Amino acid sequence: MLFEQVHTQPDPYAPFLISQAIKTNGLVFVSGQAAIGDDGELVGVGDFDKQADQAFRNLERVLKASGSGLDRVVKVTIYLTSMSNFDKIVELRRKWWSQPYPADTIVEVSSLYSSDAMIEIDAIALAE
């Protein structure tokens, strides 16, 4: 099986030996995208809206780097540190996707990679 590692520039995942995405067999598997800015630092500490916007922008950037896009996402998993932000996720889905909306799982977790991170999104999309 052939697969291709997907990179963006900058690649904030490289120091952790994580692929931002892997492209294989007509699909793109995107690692969890958090609110990491171009400087490798968390954006919007304490501000869910800023973190969510950055996480969706990062997802979009990785998909574009793979030759795919948000319009080709078939499955998404959104990890939240508080379900109190669930209603905001519904609005974000409306902002970033259109019908048919991707299959989705939303999970509340006690912590993400940083104690300040509030959201992370992974996805599976159709390639090209």
Domain assignments of the chain as residue spans, ordered by start? 4-126
pLDDT tens-digit readout, 50-78: 999 999 999 999 999 999 999 999 999 99
pLDDT tens-digit readout, 71-120: 999 999 999 999 999 999 999 999 999 999 999 999 999 999 999 999 99
Total-model pTM: 0.94
Could you tell me if 29 and 126 are in contact, meaning their C-beta atoms sit under 8 angstroms apart? no
Could you tell me if 48 and 42 are in contact, meaning their C-beta atoms sit under 8 angstroms apart? no
- The amino acid at residue 50 is K
Measured distance CA(34)–CA(120) in Å, rounded: 4
Measured distance CA(38)–CA(44) in Å, rounded: 13
Q: Provide the pLDDT confidence category of residue 9 given band limits of 50, 70 and 90.
A: confident
For domain 4-126, the question of CATH label 3.30.1330.40 is answered with yes
Q: If you ran DSSP here, which 8-state letter would residue 38 be given?
A: T
The helix/strand/coil state of 90 is helix
